[in-house]
Amino acid sequence: MSIAVIKTSSTVGSLSHSSSYIGHLNAIKRVPTADSSGQLSDNIVYNKHSLEDDSEYKLIIECNRMLQEVDDEISVTKRFVSEIYSKKFIELESLIPNKIDYIKTVKLIGNEMDLTLVNLNEVLTPSLVMIVSVSGSTTSGQRLSETELNECYRGCNEVLKLDHDRSLMLQFVESRMSKIAPNLCTLIGAHIAAQLVGLAGGLIALSKIPACNIQVMGQEKHKNLIGLSLTSSMPHTGILYYCQLVQTCPPALRKKALKIVSAKVSLASRIDSYQSNYDTTQGERLKIEVEERLEKEQDPHTARTKKALPIPEEKKRSKRGGKRVRKMKERYMVTELGKQQNKMTFSTDVGEYGDSAMGTDKGMVGSKDSGRIRAPQVKESAFLKKQKKAVSVSSGQTSGMSSSLAFSTVQGLELVNPNASMDRVKEANNKWFNSQSGFLSAAPKS
């Protein structure tokens, strides 16, 4: 990560006057240039097997490295100019975010307080000219001294010179990138491809970088060190974010588009690194795939379709056996009583047809003793037991001429002695109420 250096009047122009910078520009001017159509001649062919050793290829890599230094120098020098010019027009920096437009505007205005006398239409749009004019008429700034104005002009000239050299380097790199990496240039453009190759240190080095790292290459993390807000730099985005495929998408889809494009850039760089002929077929194919994918991502979500359940299989499936299954079968199996109740007898007069039709009869329950069902037990009442005992007692006391048969309207034919109760009454009266029996105690004997 590059660190911004605070510019002073003595350090303005340090990069453009260095020997390495001047030698690099002279080397670019000596190489063959493109024709009027912007294309190189066909006799310029690079050998893919010895690409890293080619002198012009090394110049391209060095040019990409130099472009990064030029961008940093422009940012720092512009900051130097804005610090001086803020004494006169402090609002101008916030009104014009573009660095080059700001420098050109400062050079046009100079020390003029009445902005209506300055023609800003050559640099700014009409709407921006109106905003700058209104803000300039209400600003609280003061004129700069002659020394401060000269320092400001010197910084402006340095920025404009660096911008011109930067355009020259970009033109050289872009004209060569279509021959070095044709598929990569077809996919994302020569300008972005040149910057990626320069940041990676070569085409072969770019092919070895994973796609997740390609999408953050060139991320500007040093803006917060020169006074700019952190919101101006977007996280997880690099120079690939500004390619045409990503910028044509809606803002909500650009992060996802960046991941898709970075994956295809990784493939295109590997294709260009190891193919020996000038062919853009694969790059065009990758670009079509990206466009179709992004177009599909923008389609509205379709409603969920209701599908019918599959037809169940009617074949018998094997089920697990064991102790639990046997216990469950015993719990829900039909009992012997239920089996007998479900059976039906014929040629019998028991019950009615209606009972059998309504299912309220007992079937063959109790019709025969199969030995598998416990027979119903008839419980005798205490009254029946008492009658049986009385019959057995009376049968031993009667004479041979007396009959032991007795009829009752309730019990029917009974085996009882009708005189047994009268005899017991007489015996009790003779015992307790006889004049010759004397006094008897009813108390129980101890």
What does the pLDDT look like over 345-399, one tens digit per residue? 776 655 565 666 666 666 666 666 566 666 556 566 777 777 777 777 665 554 4
Which of 62, 45, 138, 65 has its CA nearest to residue 95?
A: 138
Q: Which amino acid is at 340?
A: Q
Give 18-25+51-180's CATH code, choosing from 1.10.287.4070, 3.40.50.1100, 3.40.1390.10, 1.10.10.10: 1.10.287.4070
Sequence-separated (6 or more) residues with CB below 8 Å from residue 120: 105, 108, 109, 129, 132, 133
C-alpha distance from residue 102 to each of 79, 80, 167, 388 (Å) = 11, 12, 18, 134
Better-scored residue on pLDDT, 361 or 161:
161
C-beta separation of 78 from 201 below 8 A: no
Task: Domain 181-298: state its class.
Answer: mainly alpha
Q: How far apart are CA 69 and CA 21, in angstroms?
A: 10
Map out the domains of the chain as residue ranges.
18-25+51-180, 181-298
C-alpha distance from residue 375 to each of 64, 93, 340 (Å) = 109, 112, 13
Average pLDDT over residues 102-114: 89
- pLDDT of 226: 40
Answer whether 18-25+51-180 and 181-298 agree in fold: no
Burial class (CB within 10 angstroms; exposed 0-12, middle 13-18, buried 19+) of 387: middle
Q: Could you give the 3-state DSSP secondary structure of residue 414?
A: strand
Strands annotated E in 267-418: 406-408, 412-414
Query: Looking at the predicted structure, is the pLDDT value of residue 152 above 80?
Result: yes
Q: How far apart are CA 77 and CA 245, in angstroms?
A: 32
Q: How far apart are CA 20 and CA 18, in angstroms?
A: 6
Residue 406 phi, psi (nearest 5): -140, 140
C-beta separation of 67 from 198 below 8 A: yes
Query: Looking at the predicted structure, is the pLDDT value of residue 293 above 90?
Result: yes
- pLDDT of 15: 84
